[in-house]
Amino acid sequence: MDHPQSAAVEIVDLVKTYGDKTAVDGLGLVVEHGTVTAVLGPNGAGKTTTIEVCEGYRRADSGTVRVLGLDPAAQGEQLRPRVGVMLQSGGVYAGARADEMLRHVAKLHADPLDVPMLIERLGLGSCGRTTYRRLSGGQQQRLALAMAVVGRPELVFLDEPTAGLDPQARRATWDLVADLRADGVTVVLTTHFMDEAERLADQVHIVDRGRVIASGSPEALCRDGAENSLRFSGPPGLDLTAMAAALPADAKAFEVARGSYRVEGDIDPQLLATVTAWCAQHGVMPEKLTVERRTLEDVFLELTGRELRA
Ligand SMILES: Nc1ncnc2c1ncn2[C@@H]1O[C@H](COP(=O)(O)OP(=O)(O)OP(=O)(O)O)[C@@H](O)[C@H]1O
């Protein structure tokens, strides 16, 4: 796809209040075309509100939002055929049959995806004749996802697409997102699952209390800041002062429990080799040797002092 000028989504200084509650408090982020972007944060962080402003369902109190270069509040008509939307709930007529609804939405678009293929992909084969209200929560969610993507949009907003899904449906959703990305579709999803963000997203924006507190690729976010660690087990009472002398100055070694060791620092291949060489020189077999990488959960904890799921 040719995208000459603007980013797919640009949000600058977005503010949205509900009465005296500030749900979004100066949030800014940019989504590049053809990427998967995860807006990651705990419940109540302002993710849904932000996405709903982008979708044109809510008006910002202040700030600027551009979606495909357009203002979603004023140019919704132009955006609707180009943007797919999966809401957290609702937006579907409860008495309609699942397959009818999907076919209906497909007909509104010039070049829709193959409906039977989509039904199969999302494991909705058994629900075709069932009305929406009789579907399980997970089936309703997958149908909402199918409806968001059936029109081959350029950009899709998925609000908590896998919340409450069983592992199989979750994987089917992940696969579909990966396929969308491979087709050049821009995907913006909200999630409070850090593994989902790590796995799917090119860019992650961590949101807390209505603001973006960190942005970057999952790798970059997990690499920056605090250090990784290396753990191993061995005979108790190793001479860690001697080991520390062999390590780079910024690395530290601890016996965290009897016979259980932890080396903290910039764990690169050289440091790993130094530790194992030191063990070899001292006749020590380092068992259960593991390098622990920081997760987005750790990043969130370091930035906010709170657990992501709190
Ligand atoms: N219609 C509303 N009226 C009043 N307060 C609201 C409304 N919608 C959201 N809020 C409040 O605004 C804050 C942000 O909510 P929002 O739904 O945007 O967060 P979220 O990050 O999407 O959380 P969740 O994952 O729970 O949906 C929360 O404190 C929420 O209670």
Whole-number Å distance, alpha carbon 23 to ligand 1 midpoint, is: 6
What is the predicted pLDDT for the residue at 226?
A: 54
| Long-range pairs for 139-142: beta carbons < 8 A, 24 or more residues apart | 139/98, 140/89, 140/92, 141/165, 141/169, 142/169, 142/172, 142/173
Does domain 9-222 fall under CATH 3.40.50.300? My reply is yes
- Residue-wise burial string across 158-169, b where 16 or more C-beta atoms lie within 10 A, e elsewhere: bbbbbbebeeeb
What is the predicted pLDDT for the residue at 310?
A: 44
> Which atom of ligand 1 lies nearest, measured to the CA of 49?
18
What is the predicted pLDDT for the residue at 309?
A: 61
Written as six digits, the tokens of 161 are: 């697409």
What is the predicted pLDDT for the residue at 91?
A: 62
Q: What is the pTM of this model?
A: 0.82
What is the predicted pLDDT for the residue at 121?
A: 85
| pLDDT, tens digit only, all 310 positions of the chain | 555 568 999 999 999 999 999 999 999 999 999 999 999 998 899 999 999 999 999 999 999 999 999 999 999 999 998 999 998 766 667 778 888 888 988 988 888 999 999 998 888 888 777 888 888 888 888 899 999 999 999 999 999 999 888 898 899 899 999 999 999 999 999 998 888 998 999 999 999 999 999 999 998 888 765 567 899 999 999 999 999 999 999 899 999 899 999 998 888 899 999 999 999 999 999 999 998 877 888 888 878 877 776 4
> Which atom of ligand 1 lies nearest, measured to the CA of 41?
21
What is the predicted pLDDT for the residue at 235?
A: 96
CATH of the domain spanning 228-293? 3.30.70
> Which atom of ligand 1 lies nearest, measured to the CA of 160?
25
User: In this structure, are residues 68 and 83 in contact, taking their beta carbons and an 8 Å threshold?
Assistant: yes
| Identity of the residue numbered 226 | A
What is the predicted pLDDT for the residue at 96?
A: 81
Pocket test for ligand 1, best of 20, 39, 49 (most atoms within 8 A of CB): 49
Phi first, then psi, for residue 253 (nearest 5°) are -120, 135
Give the integer Cα–Cα distance in Å for 91 and 98: 13
Intrachain domains 9-222 and 228-293 with the same fold: no
Enumerate residues 6+ apart whose C-beta is below 8 A from 297: 194, 307, 308
Q: In the chain, what are the domain boundaries?
A: 9-222, 228-293
For the chain, the DSSP string reads ----SS-SEEEEEEEEEETTEEEEEEEEEEE-TT-EEEEE--TTSSHHHHHHHHTTSS--SEEEEEETTB-TTT-HHHHGGGEEEE-SS--S-TTSBHHHHHHHHHHTSSSPPPHHHHHHHTT-GGGTTSBGGGS-HHHHHHHHHHHHHTT--SEEEEESTTTT--HHHHHHHHHHHHHHHHTT-EEEEEES-HHHHHHH-SEEEEEETTEEEEEE-HHHHHHSSS-EEEEEE-STT--HHHHHHHS-TT-EEEEEETTEEEEEE---HHHHHHHHHHHHHTT---EEEEEEPP-HHHHHHHHHSS-TT-
pLDDT digits (tens, 9 = 90+) for 172-213: 899 999 999 999 999 999 998 888 998 999 999 999 999 999
> Which atom of ligand 1 lies nearest, measured to the CA of 19?
4
Whole-number Å distance, alpha carbon 88 to ligand 1 midpoint, is: 12
Whole-number Å distance, alpha carbon 43 to ligand 1 midpoint, is: 8
What is the predicted pLDDT for the residue at 202?
A: 97
Enumerate residues 6+ apart whose C-beta is below 8 A from 74: none
Handedness of CA 159, 165, 169, 171 (dihedral sign): positive
In this prediction the ipTM stands at 0.95
